[in-house]
């Protein structure tokens, strides 16, 4: 009596592939939702508050972003992409590098310029200097 492993390997591979595809899809979806939300919130808040800074916008967007994550993603792939991990705000904040400097640079590249503290402004300038010239819009 022999035990054939090939069906078990196939089943395991199919399950892993389903998790892999689902995890990548959820991460890409959260990334796109984050980018859209930041642009929408920046434009809306800028109309309502003339003295809006990057730091202020970040503080306003953060709770909305965290709530959006809880509704739109259950898990993402670990950075090695071998297994799923929970899509918690802390993990996604690290994976997306969701910081005031990144947000300010993203907004600037997309034509929305908000004031920032001097040190933050330097970080934003550094990040935008890394963007290819043909990608810059603003």
Q: What percent of the chain has pLDDT over 90?
A: 72
Mean pLDDT of the chain: 90
Report residue 128 as tokens: 């935008």
Cα(104)–Cα(131) distance, integer angstroms = 13
Q: Tell me the pLDDT tens digit for each residue of 76-92.
A: 888 787 788 899 999 99
Helix, strand, coil percentages (3-state) for the chain, rounded to 5, are: 65, 5, 30
Helix 100-109 vs helix 118-129: crossing angle, to nearest 10: 60
The whole-number pLDDT of residue 6 equals 86
- Read off the pLDDT band of 138 (50, 70, 90): very low
The whole-number pLDDT of residue 1 equals 58
Per-residue pLDDT at 127 exceeds 90: yes
This prediction's pTM: 0.84
Cα(30)–Cα(96) distance, integer angstroms = 9
The whole-number pLDDT of residue 78 equals 85
């Amino acid at each position: 009596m022999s035990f054939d492993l090939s069906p078990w390997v196939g089943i395991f591979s199919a399950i892993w592939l389903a998790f892999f595809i689902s995890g990548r899809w959820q991460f890409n979806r959260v990334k796109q939702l984050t980018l859209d939300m930041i642009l929408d919130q920046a434009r809306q808040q800028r109309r309502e508050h003339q003295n809006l800074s990057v730091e202020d916008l970040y503080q306003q967007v953060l709770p909305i972003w965290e709530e959006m994550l809880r509704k739109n993603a259950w898990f993402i792939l670990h950075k090695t992409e071998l297994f799923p991990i929970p899509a918690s705000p802390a993990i996604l904040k690290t994976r997306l590098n969701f910081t005031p400097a990144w947000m300010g640079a993203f907004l600037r590249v997309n034509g929305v310029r908000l004031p920032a503290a001097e040190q933050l402004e330097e970080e934003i300038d550094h990040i935008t200097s890394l963007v290819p010239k043909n990608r810059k819009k603003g």
